With several copies, the nearest count.
Chain A
Amino acid sequence: MSSPHPYIPATEADRARMLERIGADDLDSLFADLPEAFRDPSIDLLPALTEPDLIALLADRAGQNAAPSRPNFLGAGAYRRSVPSIVSYLVSRSEFSTAYTPYQPEISQGTLQSGFEFQSVVCELTGMDVANVGLYDVASATAEACLMASRTTKRQAVCLLEPIHPGTADVVNTYARGAGLRVDAVSMAEELSDEHACLVAQQPDFLGTIVDLEPLANAAHEVGALLVAVADPFALGMLKAPGDAGADIVTGEGRDLAGAPAFGGPSLGLFAAGLPYLRQMPGRIVGRTKELHPSDGGKARTGYVLTLQAREQFIRRERATSNVSTAQALIALGFTIAVQALGPHGLRESAELCYQRAHDAARRIAAISGYKVPERGPWVQEFLVRGPVPAANLSSELSERGITAGLDVSDRPEPEAHNALLFCVTEATPDSHIDALIEALASIGDEV
């Protein structure tokens, strides 16, 4: 590798000049404080690569993943969406992507005003009063919601309504352990008690079924608990806003509307709540304000700042509402632009298109002899498929035919999941993939 490195502009001559000014002999002498016994250990790293070699290596690696053209019917928390083409261009503008948390609002209005747009979009979608600028992902956001519910209700247990995404349940458990909360998993709201700070319900649930949140909100409120709805923002294009159904906190995953699944991350946790909980919210919040002094001869202009920071770790430290600092701002920007590009009609049309395409696919599958699509209620984009062979075999038979099956949920307790795979079809699943699936399922059926 040549010196200087492309990422480190200073040359040997630069360094000599700087060292002289500092009065140091060489670079190493700047590290004199480091304990000598441990200084400059031997470290075994892969060799450095020039840019062309780096790109070649990683293009090769990317090619070791399944080809993007391979039919894939996995959903279960990550969905292939039609993301408007303008999103990636705008998000990649370096004024957005290479900035950090907007500590200096005068030169960060881009991040701040889009943060305010994001909060506005999240409030509209969820039907809630207030939202923050986003947390890590849906699961950690849900865990934060449980902690917040516990803080506000002063109760030490939370209740998860099954079927909920196992990843979400797992993260709630992780966070609850630290906070000393008990986590109960229940299959009906009736199991809720006045020990519970909240009831957590996923919409649609883990097996894809649309949930009627209203009775759940009532049940929760009856025992003095909050309803935390974990809602898919895409499905909210057609489903009733959780806020209108009585939810107190709404979380969700914004990744898929903002871009590609990227093996799960970067993700984006949505977090919205009713006004009473505002000062207990985790995360950054953007507020609208005005210039202190009119700057341009005329009236004071409108600007945006991080606000209500007294909740946050860098001020409140151990009494903060959360430890979160860096979150997922750039993904939130992509989410905002994508949702606004779709607009009110586009979002609804997209959700309904997804609904129609998924139901059409399900119907075609159910029509193949040997296959069943057990329904648990109305659904949007995910459905169970039971085939003529055990679920695991069906999955591997499909894989051999170049198709990635839906998730194997045959070990779930719900009777409909018995021996079933959870398939997902969205507005972005190519027709040709669905055709290939139908054909493959039929041929597997024929061979039985």
Chain B
Amino acid sequence: MTAPGPRSEDLGARLSFDRGEPGRRAVDVPVWNGQKTPLPDAHLLRDSVTLPEMGQGELVRYYTALSTRNYGIDSGTYPLGSCTMKFNPKVNDLIAFLPGFADAHPQSPEHEAQGTLRTLLELRQGLAEITGLPHVSLAPAAGAQGELAGVLMITAALEDRGELEARRRILVPDSAHGTNPATAAMAGYSVTHLPTAEDGSLDRATIEQELDESVAAVMVTVPNTLGLWENGIEQVAELIHDAGAYLYADGANLNAIMGRVRYGDLGFDVVHLNLHKSFSTPHGGGGPGAGPVCCTEELAPYLPTPILEEGDDGLVRLAAPERSIGRLQQFHGNVGVLLRAYAYMRALGLDGLRSVSGQAVLNANYLRVLLHGHYDLPYDRPVLHEVVFSGSRQKREHDVRTYDIAKRLIDYGFHPPTVYFPLIVEEALMIEPTETEPPEAIEALAEALIAIAEESASDPDTLHGAPWTAPIGRLDETTAARRPVLSWRGPRQDR
């Protein structure tokens, strides 16, 4: 027997701006009792600013309620392919919030920041070891900024070689993350797409064909976004170098190979890492991240500012590489994220990092075999950190799209995997369990996906309407884009 509850509040319809009452406040500000300085001339000042006026309790309740409408790693399995949603140890946050670290001013003289600087130096050394590329800048704020740094370093090197005018193209596989071509374009290059071969690796023939003196660099994701190793990448590296171009690694998938193979050893010139993925720092609903770049001796002079140096006096200092591409941020990068990454590296050590990649790959393969036969597997071979299924069969046979499958998975208590990426897989379902999921969780995820595959035959409408149990139903994304409402008051002209 069930009876409906009363309809619960439409939380989205009432922003903080619509709550509270004029005059309420959530915090008090001390009153100034000293001598009063007259304010600057009125034409420099504003009359007022419109903001919510709520009591402290109201405000806390509002954001607490919003939080309960979110799904995080602590809520359950979050197998978002390519994003490496692994457990975020709380100790990392505790460390980053230690007052000595948190209160450090970015302009502090070096001797007042040795605790931070030495820790960053050790992180830098660790990343150099892990990537096999000895020079590192921790400055980039996220993967995409690391990419930009890497490509601009290549630009600078080409400029010094006098070849910049000639080399205006960057080759990017069609399986690449969107940031790769976007970065290349932002750095002023034209982008040539490389097709993926039958086996999911780069198509060697096209590369050979495209490689000429107009090519500045090739950006390759290793392992790639299909969760597969790039077969023969070490030979490709030689080809590229022979053609006078650079080989850039998108290292966002480092999680798969940590401690097992190194970008530098394979012939990459520069790599960016996504510490917010591989090194377990919280993703924060979309950042902050950290995207260090590591490179060869040859590219080292161009690294973004700052880099870390240990002086003969034992002091660690921030420095600008000789021919640096310059700064990427006003200060020194997302230091709080870097401290968390350091804590993670130290919590694991080499054996631990190898266990990470080992278990991450085992988990992905376990899922691969559990789901085998239930969904199409366009590249049917052992995978590394993630496995990309396709919902084409469900679409063809039952008019159920991957979109529907993802939404239905929410009803089963899971965060859906990445969908419709990589672009080369039709109706892609890109699943990355990561090493922090226990086998039971992977089995439960597989069971849910199998049940959904069955439902797509027996009850496609349930899938078309899913999710049914989420805090809110399917949203009208088309109208959102067609008639954008982007702030509480809307643009000034409409007021």
Set B274, B345, B349, B473: member contacting A293, Cβ < 8 A: B473
Set A46, A100, A266: member contacting B83, Cβ < 8 A: A100
Decide if B337 touches A266 in the complex (CB within 8 Å): yes
Most buried by B among A46, A61, A333, A342: A61
Task: Please measure, in the bound complex, the distance between the C-alpha atom of A111 and the C-alpha atom of B337, giving whole angstroms.
Answer: 19
Q: What residues of chain A lie closer than 8 Å to B109, measured between beta carbons? A: 399, 404
Decide if A278 touches B90 in the complex (CB within 8 Å): no
Stretch at the interface among A26-34, A189-197, A438-446: A26-34
Most buried by A among B20, B468, B474: B474
Q: What residues of chain B lie closer than 8 Å to A127, measured between beta carbons? A: 492
Residues in A36-56 with C-beta less than 8 Å from chain B: 37-41, 43-55
Set A107, A210, A263: member contacting B331, Cβ < 8 A: A263
Residues in A61-109 with C-beta less than 8 Å from chain B: 61-68, 70, 72, 74, 76-78, 80, 82, 84-86, 88-90, 92-109
Q: What residues of chain A lie closer than 8 Å to B45, measured between beta carbons? A: 238-240
Judge whether A415 is part of the interface by a CB distance below 8 angstroms: no
B419 → chain A closest CB, angstroms: 8
Judge whether A149 is part of the interface by a CB distance below 8 angstroms: no
Known pairs A292-B474, A317-B178; A140 contacts B185 (CB<8 A): no
Decide if A99 touches B70 in the complex (CB within 8 Å): yes
Known pairs A30-B382, A240-B44; A45 contacts B129 (CB<8 A): yes
A6 → chain B closest CB, angstroms: 4
Judge whether B93 is part of the interface by a CB distance below 8 angstroms: yes
**B-facing mask of A281-315, CB < 8 A → 1, else 0?**
00011111111111111111111110111101111
Set A9, A147, A305: member contacting B436, Cβ < 8 A: A9
Residues in A255-281 with C-beta less than 8 Å from chain B: 259-267, 275, 278
Decide if B49 touches A236 in the complex (CB within 8 Å): yes
Judge whether B489 is part of the interface by a CB distance below 8 angstroms: yes
A12 → chain B closest CB, angstroms: 7
Decide if A104 touches B406 in the complex (CB within 8 Å): yes
Most buried by B among A37, A48, A58, A107: A107
Task: Please measure, in the bound complex, the distance between the C-alpha atom of A70 and the C-alpha atom of B151, giving whole angstroms.
Answer: 41
Q: What residues of chain B lie closer than 8 Å to A275, measured between beta carbons? A: 491-493
Judge whether B221 is part of the interface by a CB distance below 8 angstroms: no
Q: What residues of chain A lie closer than 8 Å to B116, measured between beta carbons? A: 61, 65, 263
Size class of the contact patch on chain B: 35 or more
Judge whether A436 is part of the interface by a CB distance below 8 angstroms: no
Known pairs A6-B55, A50-B29, A72-B105; A130 contacts B486 (CB<8 A): yes
Most buried by A among B8, B17, B23, B486: B486
Residues in A122-148 with C-beta less than 8 Å from chain B: 123-125, 127, 129-131, 133-134, 136-140, 147
**B-facing mask of A331-343, CB < 8 A → 1, else 0?**
1010001011111
Decide if B141 touches A137 in the complex (CB within 8 Å): yes
Judge whether B113 is part of the interface by a CB distance below 8 angstroms: yes
Decide if B352 touches A17 in the complex (CB within 8 Å): no
Decide if A98 touches B282 in the complex (CB within 8 Å): yes
Task: Please measure, in the bound complex, the distance between the C-alpha atom of A129 and the C-alpha atom of B492, giving whole angstroms.
Answer: 6
Decide if B25 touches A171 in the complex (CB within 8 Å): no
Q: Which partner residue on chain A sits nearest B10 by CB separation?
A: A301
Q: Which partner residue on chain A sits nearest B481 by CB separation?
A: A307
**A-facing mask of B72-115, CB < 8 A → 1, else 0?**
11110010100101111111011111111111111111001111
Q: What residues of chain B lie closer than 8 Å to A32, measured between beta carbons? A: 382
Decide if B334 touches A237 in the complex (CB within 8 Å): no
Decide if A41 touches B261 in the complex (CB within 8 Å): yes
Judge whether B311 is part of the interface by a CB distance below 8 angstroms: no
Q: Which partner residue on chain A sits nearest B353 by CB separation?
A: A45
Known pairs A167-B330, A266-B336; A407 contacts B119 (CB<8 A): no
Known pairs A22-B366, A325-B143, A339-B51; A302 contacts B185 (CB<8 A): no
Known pairs A9-B58, A140-B145, A305-B480; A174 contacts B328 (CB<8 A): yes
Q: Which partner residue on chain A sits nearest B349 by CB separation?
A: A48
B163 → chain A closest CB, angstroms: 16
Judge whether B209 is part of the interface by a CB distance below 8 angstroms: no
Task: Please measure, in the bound complex, the distance between the C-alpha atom of A316 and the C-alpha atom of B245, giving whole angstroms.
Answer: 26
Given A33-B231, A329-B284: 11 more A-B contacts, CB < 8 Å: A7-B356, A24-B382, A58-B95, A72-B105, A99-B73, A120-B17, A140-B145, A237-B49, A239-B46, A266-B336, A346-B28
